[in-house]
Structure 1
């Protein structure tokens, strides 16, 4: 239905269903744990995976399927699976690829919550993670791939400092090594960047952020690009090639390019159970309908904030992708419509200056979240990065005075005025 249509049209219509009973135009909330079988044999077929009809809502709810399909459409993928949070999306995406003893390559610039899970829960489960500097060249990435490597993982725009991963380079590494590239595209959104166009195999999102936009739901999404050759990767991913109990064909045999998403939904999400509430999917769909409009305003406001703060004497540096950070060329190539709406600032006066600044804000909320219609700010060193020691924080670029600002949709002049008023009480 949406093939060939523009982004703004697809964000409203992709995957939509009209309720068969009442004819409701807005996708309904299917608040049901399960679905009635037509017969004994129908139940058998559904549970065996030989029927396309639903068996249980833990991994296959109609409202969620619409939202997952819409995100997949906007990203240019073949299927999308919703899970309970962005953290769950990372964990489930990797669980569908790797097992104990396997190796994952990542960039060294990741959201701290992600790094914490990689070096904590997932490492305890037997996965090995190796981080390479984000500026590592192509041959060095290829050389780091081992027979046990199951994924290359990156964020399109890193949180909180805005480093942009060279997805085209990583896509070439993926093609040369046969290892799928997994990209967290939360900060960029599919409106600003579509990693599948640069060689990614899998895209994940925290749908709590810009996709929803209103700060009222927690969720995650995993999208299969349908471009990775799972059929040629039997040595790395034998579980996609194994026949299922009862003689059911393997996921590669049945689903071809979409084998990964099918396995993710039918096995990993079903077994782990990070269910996404259909009420949240309903709210997510309403957010997605205005994504392009909101992102245009988010980017414009972020640029206004970055420009207004850059010369302030209390600020030693403004972090925004492509703004004097040497990444101008890669931002122009990968993010031609804007580099998102996170602006981070280094206050020259350190932690005390950050405390004064944040406590003087009035319009802007001091809280841990990004991608909201409201502008939000947080001192990352004492919160998100608070478990690290000082040297670990500095190694990641987290200075004592770093404040992350998620620029919202208020009038740009009002956002800037609140920031400048708060900075008036900060000594350089």
Structure 2
């Protein structure tokens, strides 16, 4: 014990630990600390001025979180990443760093319901305009672009209908418009598709889903793929290319344009710092455990998902299966191009409608109540097989017109096929569908 820590009260707080001491753990440790001790005031001053890298406070940066960020960036072949508290936070902060009040985003109609809520309600409150287009209508993407447009945004594989985005075509529109293409890559993951290879500039993930894979920890991540030059048009990107008023000494492009990411620096030093959607060290640790088996899990998810989809496609009680791995899918050929390792295990199917919405809901409820292996959970990408009813759950805030545009009917059910034996999942669904007969 040091000379300072002589008393009981001081010893119980400080004894046995040296802040600068490193341990040779084989697995990234959980740095469960709110803040970090500085070696000197000069070091603290340089850290706060962004003149050097290091740990200050876990709201903006944490060593365990940093390992997670670097690992996801490596999997996406990106240059930097920012991990945040949820996938919703990742979408919000990525787009807020690009579009400000009076500016504009073009987004696909076929988005997760919570993302639509964010873009059409909350962004509208903040003075950011959003136009929604059919993601398969390339001309509509081009026609929606304005001088104030600052991003194009879509999911590489949609939730719930597993529509496959023509990333190359939309990326070409973004390049012509001089704005980045932002891709929600949650369902595809970097194992099934490298969005950078097809022209995307920024990807976001709900790490809660496949990246973690165990259904225990919320998290999100934003990755700069390093393909968009924010310094090429300073007037369009003043938040990045003009002097950064929070820290003296130039713009973020000047500071980070050579060896890092001005965009991720802005996300962390402004939006994570100000709004506080921080990823905890413990959740980062949990998500890192999931990442270690991502390729193995995605192979199983994909193979089992296709087997279940094929079964449902032949079932007499099922009227539609939306899975791009099926030859009948409008996105089958696109899946061959963009998803050579297999399509995702999130997809939808419809059962026959009686024409009476109340009666249809009762039938859907009866089907779900009969399931024993597949669980009714508002999540995807879990080790467990999950089912949801989008019209009354994840997409319930959408209007009838928006639901129809997204391909969601009152009898649409979403599946996320897990890691169980696919034969058990198929048998469970078959028994549940039998309750609709007669």
TM-score by length of 2: 0.90
Shift of 1:55: 1.8
Q: Is residue 338 of structure 1 aligned with residue 342 of structure 2?
A: yes
Shift of 1:20: 6.0
The whole-number CA distance in structure 2 between the counterparts of 1:160 and 1:78 is 30
The residue that corresponds to 2:283 in the other structure is: 280
3-state SS of paired residue (1:134): coil
Query: Could you say which structure has the larger radius of gyration?
Result: 2
The residue that corresponds to 1:48 in the other structure is: 49
The residue that corresponds to 1:165 in the other structure is: 165
The residue that corresponds to 1:122 in the other structure is: 123
Q: Is residue 195 of structure 1 aligned with residue 205 of structure 2?
A: no
The residue that corresponds to 2:390 in the other structure is: 380
How do 1:18-417 residues align onto structure 2 when only pairs under 5 Å count? 21-137=22-138, 139-245=139-245, 247-256=248-257, 258-323=261-326, 324-349=328-353, 350-417=360-427
Structure 2 residue runs without a partner (length 5+): 1-19, 354-359
Structure 1, residues 374-400: CA drift from partner, whole Å, max 9, x if none? 000111111122233444423322111
3-state SS of paired residue (2:261): helix
3-state SS of paired residue (1:130): strand
Deviates more, 1:24-33 or 1:226-235: 226-235
| Equivalent pair of 2:183/2:202 in contact (CA under 8 Å) | yes
Shift of 1:328: 1.9
The whole-number CA distance in structure 2 between the counterparts of 1:142 and 1:397 is 22
| Equivalent pair of 1:98/1:150 in contact (CA under 8 Å) | yes
The whole-number CA distance in structure 1 between the counterparts of 2:59 and 2:105 is 28
Shift of 1:284: 0.2
The whole-number CA distance in structure 1 between the counterparts of 2:32 and 2:119 is 33
- Stretches (4+) displaced over 3 A: 244-247, 388-392
Shift of 1:233: 2.6
Shift of 1:98: 1.2
The whole-number CA distance in structure 2 between the counterparts of 1:394 and 1:268 is 34
The whole-number CA distance in structure 1 between the counterparts of 2:32 and 2:270 is 22
Residues 391, 255 of structure 1: alpha-carbon distance in 2 compared, 3 angstrom cutoff? closer
3-state SS of paired residue (2:296): helix
The whole-number CA distance in structure 2 between the counterparts of 1:391 and 1:129 is 17
CA RMSD, 1 decimal: 1.5
The whole-number CA distance in structure 2 between the counterparts of 1:247 and 1:82 is 26
The whole-number CA distance in structure 2 between the counterparts of 1:253 and 1:76 is 23
Aligned residues: 409
| Equivalent pair of 1:64/1:281 in contact (CA under 8 Å) | yes
The whole-number CA distance in structure 1 between the counterparts of 2:218 and 2:241 is 33
The whole-number CA distance in structure 2 between the counterparts of 1:395 and 1:228 is 31
